Structure formats: structure tokens, C-alpha cells
């Protein structure tokens, strides 16, 4: 299964050659927030006011070394990674697209992960 994690492209560029990602999230939250393609529209609004380019890390859950727990985030469950994310579990990095009204657009590449 593919889960998604959104972040600034500049942040990704700083760590993409490392072995692991997410230390700042583990320190502040205890886990790395993620979503799946079906629930990403519920959380992506938090990123729409950020003016710099954003990306989605497409994470293959079968390759993640840390524990993943699906936990209640209100009306639905979201995947949380409880430990550093090994970079080799990231199978794709895609832009977070917005339309002219600054609204999220599900791009073609993400649609392949809809099951």
C-alpha cells in the first residue's frame, strides 16, 4: 500500500540523500503524519497557504522499517509512522498541485495509487 507525506520541496531536497527522514517529527509529535490517497484531501488544506513548492512522498508501507499505526484522526483513521522513515521506502516524489484558486488538485500520478 502507498501512503503519503506532504512537505516543502526545499526540506525534501535537504534530506533526500540521507538514509532516514523525519527526525523533527519524531521529536515533536512522536511519529510522522501520513495519509492515504483517499484521505489526503482531508489534511492537505493545512498546506495550501504555503507559497513555496510542496511535494508528496509516496511511501510503500511494505518497505517501511518503523512501525505504522492507523489511528483515529477525527472521522477517519490515518497512518502514523512511529520511527524514522527509511528513504528507500519512498517509491515516488510528486508535486502537490494547486489550481488557480489555491485548491488541491489530485494529479495523474497520485491517481495510480487509488485502490
pLDDT of residue 57: 98
* Global pTM value: 0.93
pLDDT of residue 115: 66
The string of pLDDT tens digits covering residues 5-59 is: 999 999 999 999 999 999 999 999 999 999 999 899 889 988 888 999 999 999 9
Separation between Cα atoms, residue 107 and residue 18, nearest integer Å: 27
Domain coverage including residue 58: 2-111
For residue 6, give the CATH number of its domain. 3.20.170.20
pLDDT of residue 49: 86
pLDDT of residue 24: 95
Number of domains present in the structure of the chain: 1
* H or E element that contains 55: strand 54-60
Residues 58-86, mean pLDDT to the nearest whole number: 95
Long-range contacts of 100-107 (CB under 8 A, 24+ apart): 102/48, 102/49, 103/48, 104/40, 104/41, 104/44, 104/45, 104/48, 106/37, 106/40, 106/41
Handedness of CA 94, 99, 103, 105 (dihedral sign): negative
Contact 97, 105 (CB under 8 A): yes
Which residues are registered as beta bridge partners of 32?
81
Amino acid at each position: 500500500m502507498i501512503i503519503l507525506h506532504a512537505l516543502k520541496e526545499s526540506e525534501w531536497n535537504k534530506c533526500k540523500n540521507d538514509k532516514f527522514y523525519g527526525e523533527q517529527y519524531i521529536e515533536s509529535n512522536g511519529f510522522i503524519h501520513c495519509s492515504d490517497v483517499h484521505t489526503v484531501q482531508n489534511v492537505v488544506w493545512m498546506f495550501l497557504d504555503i507559497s513555496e513548492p510542496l511535494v508528496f512522498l509516496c511511501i510503500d508501507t511494505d518497505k517501511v522499517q518503523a512501525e505504522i499505526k492507523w489511528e483515529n484522526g477525527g472521522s477517519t483513521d490515518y497512518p502514523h509512522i512511529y520511527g524514522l522513515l527509511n528513504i528507500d521506502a519512498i517509491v515516488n516524489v510528486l508535486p502537490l498541485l494547486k489550481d488557480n484558486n489555491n485548491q488541491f488538485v489530485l494529479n495523474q500520478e497520485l491517481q495510480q495509487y487509488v485502490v
